[in-house]
Structure 1
């Protein structure tokens, strides 16, 4: 079997210190590998997301980006996009302060702003719908203030509580939740500390990720929700996982600007078949 080596980076996203935020693997490519190889690399990395990108031949974007969990390809991922932008800006010698990325979710942008990077992502529309008692029981049985779904990923469930302590202290039955929720369950509440407008967590046992540490996509759901609820254009969210991370959100029509920092943990090489 013939093989080739490729560079790989592991970046902690939505944090300015190591061992916090959400780790993502980033593998720059010159050309696409077969899909099954991309999936196997993501499985081998065993992180919530591995991002791959290639230079784009078109004028609309600089790169074409894709994201894989250990089990499936996903159409949108915030922290792995932030991690990829960090690598492109700081390790690949990209000139300029704006990167355009073609993806399954359209053209995304990443703009350098000092030590931070601002992502421009699509707002995720929601729909009001009841949530089963079984799901609420799997979360711990606490009565929520509101529940709804996400239109673009209609198996996502959103649970709104009125107390941040409930969100921080949830200990879901992941086995039950994975069977009841086709994709993910977002829980959120008003912020409980100065400078935090909202607090959230994201459980995805159905996709092999019990809890995602810090999620850009999720803030395209809860950011607009709390913007409307609080009457603010700018909202700051804290994702209360064990690692934790802060995401600043600015709502701009049907787009959400997500601002965060990133730090490099690892640079190395992987060996894959040709």
Structure 2
């Protein structure tokens, strides 16, 4: 079998220290590999997401075209792996501009340097009221939310709003059951319980190979607009209460959400894949 060697980076995103935030693999490419090879690389990496990007032909449109894969499926939007990719492009690939444009399945995304941080510009993810099935609530541990929604664009991501952060922090879902009951995932969120935190959230997605995503940019495009409306403020700070944990500073402006965070290099190496 003919093989080729590709660079790979592993980045801890939405954190300023190693072994925190959300780890993502980043694989820069000169041209697209077959989809099944991309999926197998993501499965082999066994992280919540692996990001791949190639240079765009039309630089007026975007600088790179980016795609994201969990261990089992391609996803249309991923925040932490985009932050990780921007970190690699800015710091390891000689990219000179402070503004990076990325073409994706969710349209044009931008990333800009802000001192040690990177600010992502992502599409807002509107929600609509929806009753959560009782068997899903049972798998979550039985706590009844004060409000419930689904993400309007896909109808497969449930959003459960609680009035107490402790309920969100202590939740221990039955992942084997939850993965069979949901089309994709469940977001649980509540008001923040510490100074400087406006909201606390978690994201369970066993249906696509990730029991709990450590820190999720996409999820904050769902919960930040909700809490922005509730609190009457454009700027909201979220804490994702996974085992690793991470803080995401958000700014809601119209149909866009800015997500600000730092990233740290953990690994730089090479992988060998089919040519």
Query: Distance in 1 between the 2:182 and 2:146 partners?
Result: 19
Rounded to whole Å, the distance in 2 between the matches of 1:77 and 1:236 is 18
Q: What residue in structure 2 maps to residue 185 of structure 1?
A: 186
The reply to whether residue 82 of structure 1 matches residue 107 of structure 2 is no
TM superposition shift of 1:85: 0.1
- In the alignment, which residue of structure 2 is the partner of 1:221? 222
Matches within 5 A, 1:134-173: 134-173=135-174
Q: TM-score, normalised by structure 2?
A: 0.99
Residues of 1 paired with 2:236 and 2:90: CA distance?
Answer: 26
- In structure 1, the partner of 2:55 is 55
Q: In the TM superposition, what is the alpha-carbon distance from 1:133 to its structure 2 partner?
A: 1.0
2:73 is matched with which residue? 72
Shift of 1:83: 0.1
Q: Which runs of no fewer than 5 residues in structure 1 stay unpaired?
A: none
In 2, Cα distance between equivalents of 1:75 and 1:65: 10
- Superposed displacement of residue 227, structure 1: 0.2
Whether 1:99 and 2:82 are equivalent positions in the alignment is: no
Distance 1:273 1:133 in 2: 46
Aligned residue for 1:3? Answer: 3
Are residues 1:235 and 2:236 paired? yes
Q: Deviations over 1:135-156 (max 9, x none)?
A: 1111111121110000112110
How many matched pairs?
A: 274
2:39 corresponding residue in structure 1 = 39
Alignment partners' CA distance in 2, 1:10 and 1:222: 27
State the secondary structure of the residue aligned to 1:15.
Answer: coil
Q: Which has the higher mean CA deviation after the structures are superposed, 147-156 or 253-262?
A: 147-156
The CA distance in 2 between the partners of 1:143 and 1:253, in whole Å, is 31
> Any idea what the Cα deviations from partners look like across 1:179-223, whole Å, max 9, x if unmatched?
111100000000000000000000001111100000000000000
> Displacement of 1:55 after TM fit?
0.5
Q: Quote the Cα distance in structure 2 between the aligned partners of 1:246 and 1:112.
A: 18
RMSD value, Cα = 0.5
CA distance in 2, matches of 1:190, 1:16: 24
Gaps of 5+ in 2: none
- CA–CA separation in structure 2 for the residues paired with 1:31 and 1:149: 36
Matches of 2:19 and 2:36, distance apart in 1: 30
CA displacement at 1:273 relative to structure 2: 0.8
Q: Deviations over 1:50-87 (max 9, x none)?
A: 00000000121000000000111011000000000000
Separation in 1, partners of 2:239, 2:153: 23
Q: Does 1:128 align with 2:135?
A: no
Aligned-partner Cα distance in 2 for 1:204–1:2: 36
User: What does residue 255 of structure 2 align with?
Assistant: 254
* Distance in 2 separating the partners of 1:171 and 1:125: 27
